[in-house]
Amino acid sequence: MSQNTAAATPESKKPVSRKDMTMAQWTIKEMKRNYIGYVMLAPFYILFLTFTILPVVLSVVLSFTTFNMLEPPVFVFLDNYIRLFLDDDIFLLAVKNTFIFAAITGPVSYLLSFLVAWFINELPPKIRAIVTLVFYAPSISGQVYTIWATLFSGDSYGWVNGWLMQLGFIAEPIQFFQNATYVMPLCIVVALWTSLGTAFLSFIAGLQTVDKSLYEAAAVDGIKNRWQELWYITLPVMKPQLMFGAVMAITGSFGFGGIVTALCGFPSVDYAAHTIMHHLEDYGGQRFEVGYSSAIATILFFMMVGANALIKKLLSKVGQ
Amino acid sequence: MKNLKLTKPIALLLSGLMLVSTFTVTAAAAETDNGSGNDSSKVGQSISEVMELLNATTYAEYKVTHKEKALGKNAITIAGTDYDTEKTDAKVSVDTYGGEKALYTPELGTVVYNVDVPSDGLYMIEMDYYPIAGKASNIERALRIDGKIPFKESRYLSMTKIWKDDLSDIGESDTAFEQDPLGNDVRPMAIEAPDWATYEFKDATGYYNEPFQYYLTAGTHSLELEATREAVAIGSITLKPYDAPKSYEEVSAEYASKGYKAVSSDATVKIQAETPVRTSTSTVYPTYDRSSAISEPQDASKIRLNTIGKTTTWQSVGDWVEYTLTVNETGLYYIVPRFQQSEQPDMFVSRKLYINGELPFAEAGTLQFAYDDEFQAKPLNDGTTEFQFYFEAGKEYTLRFEVVLGNMAELISEIEASLVNLNQIYLKIKQITGATPDQYRDYNFIELIPNELNLLIVESANLYDFSARLEAITGERGSNCATLNEIARIADRMGRDEDEIAKNLSKFKANIGTLGTWMNTARKQPLQVDFFSVQSPDVALPKANANAFQAFAFEMSQFVASFFTDYNSLGSEAGGEGESISVWVTTGRDQSQIVRQMINDMFTPQYGVPVELKLVAGGTLLPATLAGNGPDVAYMGGSDPVNYAIRNAIQKLDGFDTFDEVCARFSDQAIVPFTLDVTDNPATEEDEGEAAGVYAIPETQSFSMLFYRQDIFADLEIEVPTTWDELKAILPVLQSEYMEIAMPQKLAGFTLLYYQRDGELYADGGMRINLDSNLALDTFKELCDMFTQYKFPLTYDFANRFRTGEMPLGIADYTMYTQLNAFATEIRGLWAMMPLPGYEMEDGTVNNTATTAVSGLVMMADAKNPENAWKYIDWITSTDAQSRYGNEYTALLGNGTIHPTANKEAMMNMNWSSTELETLMAQFNKLRATPEYPGSYIITRYVDFAFLDAYNNNADPVEAMLSQYIFINKEISRKRAEFGLDTLEMGETLASRAEEAAAAETGEAE
């Protein structure tokens, strides 16, 4: 270490130590010394900054303005937020819907992902590969949820309608996706069906990395049943995967919007399945009010960050 | 083969029997129709026409009836000018065409000829005609003899026109085609090249390979030619006995006896297929193949027109392509096309070859081109024999390849007859059971429809037979055979056991649909040809495909070229002196290429302004404008122009000097959605009216028409409704047969009814919505009642249900007409389009206004040269440009499409027949557009909410609407405030405000 420093600064007569420098000086010096590392990081950081950090920052800045995409933004400070919380009933409705969505689909799909992954993990490898594909298929084949549109089509030839009419429960077709009573439950079902995605895969991967010898050691230490095994060994070992799955579940359930639009139209009848994502689209796309929609996006962003922190806390309790 | 011969007469006999049964039904309907007497004349006439069509026999039956009759003896020729002046009602005139005197017959009316037939017999009819340049469609006529249609097919006689590629622009260059500035070949425009031609009266669908033979008794007969499409000049009409062409066996024996020998190996002549001398239609044009390295010519990065008929452009029966051929050596030749037939799996496609206008031998009428993914090079053959042709040195021959159904013709026509029967059976069953039959219920089909059940068994046997024959012809047992067998199996089960009917009905319907789709594909005969090599039978055939090395080299250079070529840029025409403008289009690539071509041919030469045309994805305009990279001119529709206008992103157009002239091209309503109306704006008094104005020029305009099934209406003995009351009156009749009506719903349905009652959607200059007026609430209730009380369906597929007859009446966009015309061939002639029903006014007239939607062109605010941009907008919406665009659009994209131009005069020049145009114009003149105001997006959703509330929850429509319209007003006010426009308080109107102000003033005065 000291040799290195000496080699890097051969001209300087007196050896410089950390104590003699300000924080900034020291940082720059260290950066210069490790510049290869920074060069290697650069491609990712440049992309990450321009396409992730910058838009988030821009969006926060824009949320303090009115901006219609065609004319320069005008600074209005907190007006957008004031209107959002005090004079926008639809936004509150959207928040409610989003929380219902997130509260049901998030945990349920998370648990479901884990349970299914756990069960599948018990299968012989060849069968496991096939069953994994079966469960994962809905989320890889993007537009496949349109099958629900056919299933619950409002046409009298739609599957469910045709079937119900045949059995004599109804006389005319029900407009499942245009009726406020059915829209929300249906969307939740579809969301759950498509939610066995990346999280599920990472759980399977996680389950397979658990060291078998740990179970043996635990058996010696007095583990009594599979539940204890799961709680004290399996889950703590695969915490990184659990965390990853949780993040995916949160972003998935909060950002759930596209499928609703595809099935129920935009906006859904009586805003029955109107989530924050929809509200954002509504203002950003249809009404040319990008400033306002940036404010919505900012709120959504912080909601997700908050939920993330909460999940982290919960997960730290695993295995205790 | 023996089996085939036995089953055919049986099938015909049985189908004949079946026809007798339908005949009685329709005849009965006809009687009552005549008896009722007080029909409105137009509809009555069309119903009688339908009757005529329904009762007419098919040519197959006609042939059987007249099988024993002898051929006519002598040929009889009548000059075109010898028409019956009394009976002819068309506005005809005698004129000289191509140096010959002929009778001009317009696209409307009937021309009658009297002909003396010396002896009883079968005659084919030939006509010398001169096509008059007009629209991009064939000439169509119907032939009646002595006032009667002898058989159905005689109503659809189709004569081709003559087209050629306009290659006048090439000039001195040595390329076959004109090239754009980037070095790509440019597709030449097709122009009409009228010339005298001969037409044998034959089946337009190609179901019969021989010309029609009409049976005429001795004596005087009148031949009546009724025009349905396009004008034509008639030179002469000849009746003569049919002379069957010789077989190839006879012809080749003749060649042998004359000592004709195969030519030497170096006598090969190559004809490049992409440069025909003449074609029958503008839809067959030079295309480019980029898949094969050895297509001639070929280039890795540039477009080279090297084939004809790619992407199914040369596939419709009757379309032909003509080449000239001169050889240097007299003798026998193979004609070897290098072709690709990769569209019809398990099948072959057919062509008919005429040499100098004649069939060289019978088999030349059924040339086959087998299926393969790759290119093939095989001598012309009929599946068994490869033919040799005799050509003399130095003599010029014309080779005409015409699309025919060949050996499939008979089979396809019989399957279609079967399909029509099966469809009718399905409809009959559905009238008893409804859409979702209950399989546990006893419908008593045996009592109700015994004939249909028998027919099911008969058709089942037919279908099994068809499947076997199809297998024999194509030599393969493909999926098509499987479909036929499956329907046959189901039909048989349903016919034998009535309990199976309800169980299998949906499967039955699905299979009929599959069969119908297959029929539509089987009728198409797509073929792509690179060149024809006319060569000695002894020489090796030309190579069909590139070897691995060539293919690799070609693909590598394509890959490399992809880094240096901008495929999105459609190029700009150099040469204009003026400042160039940039135009963005969001249509398909094909359409934009038409525009590019038109700019090069018409705009830039005329105005001297070069245009940079770019094809962009939808939604790119907004970000591009934001970044300052936008175009000068863009295409826009819906509420966008007003939204952009109010944010100062586009320019006002009514200041340009030719603005009024341009606007006169459209109906008054067309510019309504493009008009920004902010004059009631006291807040910004200094620039009052400054921003108000027109911001876009209309290009396309869509509106709805009423479609109905004539056969079903005739069958049920009901009239087509012209008012809503009449529509409600026939509703019970339709609904008792489980038939439904397609009606626009939600906001679209509301505005339709509301505008017919002269309602206004906005009040106070867009400051509030006018949905709380009595008229609006009343109309909204009426609309909701249609769906709740009268049970109109909310979700459906109109085109499909219209075809099956479940939805014999419906309102749909008028472009549906061309779609149905092209794709629903099984119901051809059995349906029609009418203006919409309306409300009867107090003075007895019917207000049947339709709503219209418009899209158009805008000029961006930062356009560098507004004058030039305006010139472009002026030009592209002109009658000339729109007419040409419309015709090329149809030519390129096929007969199922039509460009819905907003230009009134250009509309007349589109591919419509005169009667179709008359119907369309009746509606075109009664249109109403919804104006656009800030906040208009909010209306749709709240009206939809109110409608769905009434529909789903049985809410009272009036209350549902009253609870929602406030939200609309709130949003409108908010949006107006954003732009600094004057707003109203909740519940306030301009009138109430004025009153209050007056009251306040008087109060102050006191």
Question: Chain A within 8 Å of B986 (Cβ-Cβ)?
Answer: no
For chain B, count helices (H), then strands (E): 28, 41
Residues of A in contact with B797 (CB under 8 A): 155
| DSSP per-residue string spanning B590-606 | HHHHHHHHHIIIIIHHH
Can you tell me the distance from the alpha carbon of B807 to that of B785, in angstroms, rounded to the nearest whole number?
A: 19
Residue with tokens 């009253």: B962
Q: Cα-flanking dihedrals φ and ψ of residue B442, to 5°?
A: -95, 105
Question: Chain A within 8 Å of B797 (Cβ-Cβ)?
Answer: yes
Q: Residue A137's closest CA among A147, A124, A150?
A: A147
- In a shared domain, residues B340 and B362: yes
Q: Is the pLDDT of residue A252 over 90?
A: no
- In a shared domain, residues A108 and A6: no
Alpha carbon A219 to its chain centroid, in Å, reads 37
Q: Do residues B695 and B674 make contact, with C-beta atoms less than 8 angstroms apart?
A: yes
B795–A172 CB contact, under 8 Å: no
- In a shared domain, residues A71 and A85: no
Residues of A in contact with B623 (CB under 8 A): 69
Q: Do residues B185 and B306 make contact, with C-beta atoms less than 8 angstroms apart?
A: no
Residue B796 lies in a domain: no
Q: Residue B199's closest CA among B11, B363, B402?
A: B402
Can you tell me the distance from the alpha carbon of B108 to that of B653, in angstroms, rounded to the nearest whole number?
A: 41
Q: Show Cβ contacts of residue B348 under 8 Å, excluding neighbours closer than 6 positions.
A: B341, B368, B369, B370, B371, B383, B406, B408, B474
Q: Is the pLDDT of residue A143 over 60?
A: yes
A155–B796 CB contact, under 8 Å: yes
Instruction: Check residue A261 and give its pLDDT.
Output: 85
Q: How confident is the model at residue A196 (pLDDT cuts 50, 70, 90)?
A: confident
Final residue before a domain boundary, out of A75, A109, A131: A75
Whether omega for the bond prior to residue A267 falls within 30 degrees of 0, making it cis, is yes
Instruction: Check residue B388 and give its pLDDT.
Output: 92
- Taking the CB of residue B416, how many other CB atoms lie within 10 A of it? 20
- In a shared domain, residues B269 and B140: no
- List the single best residue of A62, A66, A69, A79 to mutate versus B (max B Cβ within 10 A): A69
Of A70, A158, A267, the CB nearest to B644: A70
B575 CA: distance to closest CA in chain A (Å):
34
Q: Residue B817's closest CA among B902, B889, B913?
A: B913
- In a shared domain, residues A208 and A260: yes
Residues of A in contact with B625 (CB under 8 A): 69-70
- In a shared domain, residues A89 and A71: no
Q: Considering only alpha carbons, which residue of chain B is nearest residue A179?
A: B952
User: Per-residue pLDDT tens for A106-125?
Assistant: 888 888 888 888 888 888 88
Residue B224 lies in a domain: yes
Question: Chain A within 8 Å of B725 (Cβ-Cβ)?
Answer: no
Question: What's the whole-model pTM score?
Answer: 0.73
- In a shared domain, residues A25 and A135: no
Domain holding A40, by residue range, is: 2-75
Residues of A in contact with B439 (CB under 8 A): 166
User: Per-residue pLDDT tens for B190-201?
Assistant: 888 889 999 999
Instruction: Check residue B52 and give its pLDDT.
Output: 63
Residue B638 lies in a domain: no
Q: Which residue blocks in chain A are alpha helix, DSSP H? A: 2-8, 23-33, 35-48, 54-62, 79-86, 89-121, 125-140, 146-151, 159-166, 180-194, 198-209, 212-221, 226-229, 235-237, 239-254, 258-264, 276-281, 290-316
Can you tell me the distance from the alpha carbon of A128 to that of A135, in angstroms, rounded to the nearest whole number?
A: 11
- In a shared domain, residues B152 and B270: no
Question: Chain A within 8 Å of B510 (Cβ-Cβ)?
Answer: no
- In a shared domain, residues B212 and B151: yes
Residue B903 lies in a domain: no
Can you tell me the distance from the alpha carbon of B163 to that of B136, in angstroms, rounded to the nearest whole number?
A: 10
CATH number for the domain spanning B236: value is: 2.60.120.260
B968: left (phi over 0), alpha (psi -120 to 50) or beta: alpha
- Taking the CB of residue B251, how many other CB atoms lie within 10 A of it? 20
Can you tell me the distance from the alpha carbon of B419 to that of B398, in angstroms, rounded to the nearest whole number?
A: 39
Question: Chain B within 8 Å of A267 (Cβ-Cβ)?
Answer: yes
Single-letter code of the amino acid located at B665? R
- In a shared domain, residues A186 and A212: yes
- List the single best residue of B952, B974, B979 to mutate versus A (max A Cβ within 10 A): B952
Pairing assessment for the beta strands B214-216 and B349-355 based on DSSP bridges? unpaired
The total of structural domains in chain B comes to 4
Q: Considering only alpha carbons, which residue of chain B is nearest residue A152?
A: B795
Q: Do residues B180 and B303 make contact, with C-beta atoms less than 8 angstroms apart?
A: no
User: Which one is predicted more confidently, A137 or A177?
Assistant: A177
- In a shared domain, residues A181 and A309: yes
- In a shared domain, residues B130 and B230: yes
Q: Do residues B448 and B432 make contact, with C-beta atoms less than 8 angstroms apart?
A: yes
CATH number for the domain spanning A212: value is: 1.10.3720.10
Instruction: Check residue B209 and give its pLDDT.
Output: 84
Domain holding B121, by residue range, is: 69-160+190-240
Can you tell me the distance from the alpha carbon of B348 to that of B407, in angstroms, rounded to the nearest whole number?
A: 10
Can you tell me the distance from the alpha carbon of B246 to that of B281, in angstroms, rounded to the nearest whole number?
A: 30
Q: Do residues B500 and B511 make contact, with C-beta atoms less than 8 angstroms apart?
A: no
For residue B108, count CB atoms less than 10 angstroms from its CB and return exposed for 0-12, middle for 13-18, buried for 19 or more: middle
A175–B952 CB contact, under 8 Å: yes
Q: Residue B213's closest CA among B247, B237, B240?
A: B240
- In a shared domain, residues B209 and B315: no
Q: Which two tokens stand for residue A98?
A: 């989003």
Q: Considering only alpha carbons, which residue of chain A is nearest residue B503?
A: A166
Tell me B179's DSSP state: B
Which residues in chain B show pLDDT less than 70? Answer: 1-55, 169-174, 435-436, 566-578, 679-690, 1004-1006
Instruction: Check residue B617 and give its pLDDT.
Output: 82
Angle, helices B937-953/B774-788, rounded to nearest 10 degrees: 50
Final residue before a domain boundary, out of B55, B82, B98: B55
Question: Chain A within 8 Å of B643 (Cβ-Cβ)?
Answer: yes
User: Per-residue pLDDT tens for B227-286?
Assistant: 888 889 999 999 998 888 899 999 999 999 998 888 888 888 999 998 899 998 877 888
Final residue before a domain boundary, out of B207, B222, B240: B240
Q: Do residues B480 and B487 make contact, with C-beta atoms less than 8 angstroms apart?
A: no
Instruction: Check residue A263 and give its pLDDT.
Output: 84
- In a shared domain, residues A138 and A255: yes
Instruction: Check residue B21 and give its pLDDT.
Output: 44
Question: Chain A within 8 Å of B791 (Cβ-Cβ)?
Answer: yes
- In a shared domain, residues B102 and B131: yes
Can you tell me the distance from the alpha carbon of B811 to that of B823, in angstroms, rounded to the nearest whole number?
A: 18
B647–A70 CB contact, under 8 Å: yes
Q: How far apart are the first and last CA of chain B?
A: 109
- In a shared domain, residues A69 and A85: no
Q: Which helix (H) or strand (E) holds B704?
A: strand B697-709
The total of structural domains in chain A comes to 2
Q: Do residues A194 and A113 make contact, with C-beta atoms less than 8 angstroms apart?
A: no
Instruction: Tell me the residues of chain B between 930 and 949 that have a Cβ less than 8 Å away from chain A.
Output: 937, 941, 944-945, 948-949
**CA-to-CA dists, residue B284 to A24, B163, B179, B281, B801, angstroms:** 75, 9, 20, 6, 32
- In a shared domain, residues B24 and B125: no
Q: Residue B603's closest CA among B798, B874, B806?
A: B874
Final residue before a domain boundary, out of A30, A51, A75: A75
**Mean pLDDT confidence for A136-147:** 74
Residues of B in contact with A66 (CB under 8 A): 978
Can you tell me the distance from the alpha carbon of B538 to that of B266, in angstroms, rounded to the nearest whole number?
A: 10
- List the single best residue of B507, B508, B740, B795 to mutate versus A (max A Cβ within 10 A): B795
- In a shared domain, residues A18 and A147: no
Q: Any bridge partners for residue B185, and if so which?
A: B179
Of A66, A69, A181, the CB nearest to B626: A69
B791–A162 CB contact, under 8 Å: no
A172–B796 CB contact, under 8 Å: no
Final residue before a domain boundary, out of A75, A102, A133: A75
Residue B451 lies in a domain: no
Residue B699 lies in a domain: no
Can you tell me the distance from the alpha carbon of B643 to that of A88, in angstroms, rounded to the nearest whole number?
A: 23
Single-letter code of the amino acid located at A241? Q
Residue B45 CA neighbour count, 13 Å, CB half: 3
A290 CA: distance to closest CA in chain B (Å):
12
Q: Show Cβ contacts of residue B123 under 8 Å, excluding neighbours closer than 6 positions.
A: B72, B76, B117, B213, B214, B215, B216, B239, B240, B241, B242
Instruction: Check residue B896 and give its pLDDT.
Output: 76
- In a shared domain, residues A181 and A276: yes
**CA-to-CA dists, residue B667 to B70, B733, B748, B850, B910, angstroms:** 60, 38, 20, 13, 17
B952–A157 CB contact, under 8 Å: no
Q: Do residues B853 and B638 make contact, with C-beta atoms less than 8 angstroms apart?
A: yes
DSSP-derived 3-state class of residue B156: coil
Tell me B148's DSSP state: B
Q: Which two tokens stand for residue B383?
A: 């599946």
Of A154, A168, A288, the CB nearest to B795: A154
- In a shared domain, residues B116 and B195: yes
- In a shared domain, residues A108 and A178: yes
- In a shared domain, residues B14 and B30: yes
Q: Show Cβ contacts of residue B676 under 8 Å, excluding neighbours closer than 6 positions.
A: B642, B645, B646, B652, B691, B692, B693, B694, B695, B932
Of B436, B643, B945, the CB nearest to A162: B436
User: Per-residue pLDDT tens for A282-315?
Assistant: 888 888 888 899 999 999 888 888 888 888 888 8
Q: Residue B285's closest CA among B306, B308, B316?
A: B308
Question: Chain B within 8 Å of A150 (Cβ-Cβ)?
Answer: no
Residue with tokens 């356009």: B863
Residues of B in contact with A279 (CB under 8 A): none
Residues of B in contact with A156 (CB under 8 A): 435-436, 793
Residue B183 lies in a domain: no
Q: Do residues B684 and B795 make contact, with C-beta atoms less than 8 angstroms apart?
A: no
Q: Residue B584's closest CA among B570, B573, B565?
A: B570
B952 CA: distance to closest CA in chain A (Å):
6
Residue B352 lies in a domain: yes
Can you tell me the distance from the alpha carbon of A186 to that of A178, in angstroms, rounded to the nearest whole number?
A: 11
- In a shared domain, residues B377 and B344: yes
Can you tell me the distance from the alpha carbon of A241 to that of A205, in angstroms, rounded to the nearest whole number?
A: 8
- In a shared domain, residues B97 and B223: yes
Q: Show Cβ contacts of residue A32 under 8 Å, excluding neighbours closer than 6 positions.
A: A8
